């Protein structure tokens, strides 16, 4: 069945709120008083800050945008970050948003996101790109809708699959098709700056998200990632890029300060720290509603900071 523009399988739009930071309170005891007693109490500072973040996230984009999520390490938090930035955008702004794996390694996106009723992957899409046009719904055979997160996932093939066709050229070709169907794409990249898929992802990206845990080895890898981006001739993109630091249970504040200072020194647009959250530990299935409220606020700030650059 052919799907035209507006088909709900591809169009995940939602009505955006007309609420402003100055609107009366809707949450907490002030919101209760307003709704129950017909009052018009002002929103709390926390509610106003939340609204301001959401307004930033909902800012219209003039055209399609692609973001590559980078760190030169497996298990470094790229998949978690890519998914939750996409999910935050999906929940707050709606629209056509994709979190996709395009790399040389087996990823965990398929395992940690909702199943899609099929096991087709990035490789299947690449093999059948000639059947996917800008006006058909053929893409729904490859992506996996993520329920209330209002995004699609495109996962990499499992280990043991012939990956010879997942290379830089195929990534560019797939991206060219996908960018015509999605307003925002977050690319979960691989672990090697020497890989043609990594280079292609950085090349097609309009902005970058650099990922690090609050660990010493991740701090060193951050420097290597920045150097690799510059070596590929994309140093100019760093000014439109964001550092997302996932905090650990030990919370080394001195290291966090160093990470922030380094990001500022190399010209990144901003740094956002995601609090330690047990629901985000490596290997667990993604469940946005299980996130601690502080984690949700941090992802909203990270997403808002990213949208500010697009």
Among 57, 77, 106, give the residue marking a domain's end: 57
Statement to judge: residues 120 and 260 lie in one domain? yes
Q: Average pLDDT in the 58-84 region?
A: 93
Q: Average pLDDT in the 195-214 region?
A: 96
Statement to judge: residues 46 and 137 lie in one domain? no
Q: Would you state the pLDDT for residue 295?
A: 98
Is 7:145 a contact under the CB 8 Å cutoff? Answer: no
Within a domain: 16: no
CATH number at residue 116: 3.40.50.300
Element housing 68 (H / E): strand 65-70
Statement to judge: residues 126 and 43 lie in one domain? no
Element housing 80 (H / E): helix 78-92
SS3 113: coil
Within a domain: 40: yes
Statement to judge: residues 73 and 91 lie in one domain? yes
Report helix angle 45-57 to 293-308, nearest 10: 40
Statement to judge: residues 36 and 78 lie in one domain? no
Statement to judge: residues 46 and 160 lie in one domain? no
Other Cβ atoms within 10 Å of 285 Cβ, number: 10
Within a domain: 13: no
Q: Would you state the pLDDT for residue 26?
A: 67
SS3 92: helix
Within a domain: 4: no
Convert the pLDDT of each residue in 146-183 to its tens digit.
999 999 999 988 765 555 568 999 999 999 999 999 99
Q: Which residue has the higher pLDDT, 241 or 20?
A: 241
Statement to judge: residues 51 and 160 lie in one domain? no
Query: pTM here?
Result: 0.87
Statement to judge: residues 94 and 139 lie in one domain? yes
The overall average pLDDT reported for the chain is 87
Q: Give 51's pLDDT tier (boundaries 50, 70, 90).
A: confident
DSSP secondary structure letter of residue 42:
B
Within a domain: 220: yes
Statement to judge: residues 33 and 160 lie in one domain? no
Among 36, 57, 78, give the residue marking a domain's end: 57
Q: Which residue has the higher pLDDT, 54 or 1?
A: 54
Q: Would you state the pLDDT for residue 220?
A: 92
Q: Would you state the pLDDT for residue 5?
A: 40
Angle CA 21–27–30, to nearest 5 = 95
Q: Would you state the pLDDT for residue 80?
A: 96
Q: Would you state the pLDDT for residue 281?
A: 82
Q: Would you state the pLDDT for residue 90?
A: 98
Within a domain: 2: no
Q: Would you state the pLDDT for residue 47?
A: 75
Convert the pLDDT of each residue in 102-118 to its tens digit.
877 778 899 999 998 89
Task: Give the lowest-confidence range in 69-83, 100-114, 247-261, 287-301.
Answer: 100-114
Give the list of residues 6+ apart from residue 185 with CB closer than 8 angstroms, or none. Answer: 64, 65, 66, 67, 97, 98, 99, 100, 175, 178, 179
Among 57, 82, 107, give the residue marking a domain's end: 57
Percentage of the chain exceeding pLDDT 70: 83
Give the list of residues 6+ apart from residue 65 with CB closer than 8 angstroms, or none. Answer: 183, 184, 185, 206, 207, 310
Long-range Cβ contacts of 11-16 (<8 Å, 24+ apart): 11/96, 12/90, 12/94, 12/95, 12/96, 12/97, 12/145, 12/150, 12/151, 12/152, 13/94, 13/95, 13/96, 14/94, 14/150, 15/94, 16/58, 16/93, 16/94
Percentage of the chain exceeding pLDDT 90: 66
User: Per the structure, how many domains does the chain have?
Assistant: 2
Statement to judge: residues 35 and 160 lie in one domain? no
Strand partners, 246: 213, 274
Statement to judge: residues 44 and 183 lie in one domain? no
Q: Give 238's pLDDT tier (boundaries 50, 70, 90).
A: very high
Within a domain: 15: no
Convert the pLDDT of each residue in 9-44 to its tens digit.
444 444 444 566 677 666 665 566 566 666 566 667
CA–CA distance, 99 with 86 (Å, rounded to integer): 6
**Residue 50 sits in which domain range?**
23-57
Within a domain: 223: yes
Give the list of residues 6+ apart from residue 297 with CB closer than 8 angstroms, or none. Answer: 50, 53
Question: b or e along 200-238 (b: 16 or more beta carbons within 10 Å of the residue's beta carbon)?
Answer: bbbbbbbbbbbbbbbbeebbebbeebbebbeeeebeebb
Closest by CA to 126, choosing from 181, 176, 178, 166, is 166
Statement to judge: residues 294 and 221 lie in one domain? yes
């Amino acid at each position: 069945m052919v799907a035209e523009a507006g088909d709900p399988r591809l169009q995940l739009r939602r009505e955006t709120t007309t609420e402003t930071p100055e609107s009366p309170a809707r949450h907490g005891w002030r919101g209760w008083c307003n709704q129950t007693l017909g009052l018009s109490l002002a929103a709390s500072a926390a509610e106003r800050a939340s609204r301001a973040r959401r307004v930033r996230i909902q800012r219209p984009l003039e055209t399609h945008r692609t973001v590559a999520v980078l760190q030169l390490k497996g298990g470094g938090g790229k998949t978690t970050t890519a998914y939750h930035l996409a999910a935050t955008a999906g929940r707050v702004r709606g629209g056509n948003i994709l979190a996709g794996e395009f790399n040389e390694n087996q990823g965990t996106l398929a395992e940690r996101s909702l199943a899609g009723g099929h096991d087709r992957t990035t490789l299947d899409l690449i093999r059948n790109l000639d059947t996917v046009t800008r006006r058909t719904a053929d893409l729904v055979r490859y992506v996996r809708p993520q329920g209330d997160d209002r995004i699609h996932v495109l996962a990499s093939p499992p280990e043991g699959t012939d990956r010879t066709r997942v290379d830089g050229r195929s990534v560019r070709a797939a991206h060219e098709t996908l960018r015509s169907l999605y307003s925002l794409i977050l690319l979960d990249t691989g672990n090697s700056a020497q890989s043609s898929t990594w280079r292609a992802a950085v090349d097609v990206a309009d902005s970058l998200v650099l990922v690090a845990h609050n660990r010493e080895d991740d701090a060193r890898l951050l420097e290597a990632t920045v150097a690799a981006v510059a070596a590929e001739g994309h140093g100019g993109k760093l000014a439109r890029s964001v550092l997302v630091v996932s905090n650990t249970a030990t919370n080394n504040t001195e290291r966090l300060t160093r990470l922030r200072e380094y990001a500022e020194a190399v010209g990144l647009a901003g740094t956002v720290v995601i609090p330690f959250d047990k629901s985000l530990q490596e290997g667990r299935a993604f469940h946005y509603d299980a996130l601690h409220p502080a984690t949700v606020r941090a992802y909203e700030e990270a997403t808002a900071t990213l949208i500010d650059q697009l």
